[in-house]
Amino acid sequence: MRALKKLGYEVYGSGNVVPYGADEYEIYSVWKNEQQFKNTVKAFINLGCVIVDFSNEPDAPATWIREVIDSMGVQDKVKLIVDCHDLDSIRRLERILPLDEREMFNSADGLIYVSLPIQEITNKLHTVIKPNICLYSYCNEGIVDYDVEKVSERANALVYEGGVNPVGNVEINAIYPYRNLFPIFKELIARGNEVHAIVGNSDAFISGQNTGVVLHEPMIYNKMMEKLTGYKWGILIFNNEKDTEPQVRLTLTNKMFELMMAGVPSLACWCKASEDYVKKHKIGLVFNHISEIGNCSKFNDKYLELVENINVKRKELVMEKYVWRLENLYADVLGLKRIKIPSKVKKLSEFEYGKKDTALLL
């Protein structure tokens, strides 16, 4: 949204809660039921919106958007883009296509995926022939900053940020086994590390008080980003030792980009796509097993080199450098001329997504 606004686009937003950053939209509305949602979509279209960009999940609201567009008779000038953040078909080992997901894909005029493997697999599962792109979950330029000269003064501690299953919740652990992270934290602590966690859910904060982890309550995005800059290493590990969770194996996580923007090298394990990305861009260390990490003080000799490389990458791997991919997807579904990009931006995209993928969007 911020990257599009910097280019002069008007951006309206809506959700069932008021998130961080809602004040930056020209208009932001909150909906609590299907009718309110549909009324909001209709109002935005009447205000001149020609792209409705829907981020799942849940999946069902995509069909509500399609119903509004069709009922208004504006199919030729208003297009629905579905941004596929989490897909049940991937979680279900690519064996089952949930009805809501299938209807969402049928409703869309264009699609956005969060990783190249997800794009390839899902296009085959749904036999996709409509315009689609991969666009990673980059942060925006300037979202957080830190004093490069003082990185050596950071607390010699590891930090995790994001959702964590509450301690002892068998039902949640069964549904989201990869987020059963307190055993991971305890293992890191047992090897001599100080572990902090900025948890995204209060039940994990409450239930994990006696685990040895230094827990921080959920905090708004900008405060969390500032907090991250004070730590030496970032935990990019999921409870996925046997590689049974395709959602983890195939997806690039938001936290990887957030750690990089905060200048914090990642310790990546049991998350294949993220491991490959960390290795490719040299923004952290990759391990086959958590036991290989040991006490992180042994990596001190590599630390400054990693941070120096991150200082370069955090200027390149930002949404503003790749938002043109989104603009050209919008152009394709609207039947408009694609924009051209500077040669430097093209080279960045070729390294990031490959020459063939980049050429297809130009």
Residue-by-residue DSSP string for 51-69: EEEEE-SSSTHHHHHHHHH
Determine contact, residues 86/247, Cβ cutoff 8 Å: yes
DSSP 283: -
Indicate whether 106 and 35 sit together in one domain.
yes
Is 241 a domain residue? yes
Please say if the pLDDT value at position 36 is more than 80: yes
**Is position 122 within any domain?**
yes
Higher pLDDT, residue 93 or 15:
15
Same domain, yes or no: 10 and 116:
yes
154-192 tens-digit pLDDT: 888 999 999 999 999 999 999 899 999 999 999 999 999
Band (78; pLDDT cuts 50, 70, 90)? very high
Tens digit of each residue's pLDDT (9 = 90 or more) over 246-286: 989 999 999 999 999 999 999 999 999 999 999 999 999 99
The domain that holds 66 is classified in CATH as 3.40.50.2000
Is residue 73 domain-resident?
yes
> Is 9 part of a structural domain of the chain?
yes
Contact 97, 125 (CB under 8 A): yes
pTM of the shown model: 0.94
Residues facing residue 12 across a β-bridge: 27
Residues 69 and 76: their CA atoms lie apart, in Å, by: 9
The residue among 199, 189, 215 whose CA lies nearest residue 290 is 189
132 with 202, same domain? no
Q: Are residues 122 and 216 in the same domain?
A: no
Any domain includes 285: yes
Same domain, 23 and 131: yes
Total domains in the fold of the chain = 2
- The residue segments making up the domain with residue 204 are 148-316
152 and 256 together in one domain: yes
Residues 171 and 297 in one domain: yes
Say if 76 falls within a structural domain: yes
Q: Are strands 266-269 and 79-84 parallel, antiparallel or unpaired?
A: unpaired
DSSP for 122-170? HHHHTT--S-EEE---PBPTTS----GGGGGGSEEEEEEEE--PPTT-H
| Confidence (pLDDT) at 94 | 63
pLDDT for 359 equals: 96
Tell me, rounded to whole angstroms, the distance of Cα 38 from its chain centroid: 26
Q: Are residues 94 and 212 in the same domain?
A: no
The tokens describing 130, both together, are 């409509």
Does 143 reside within a domain? no
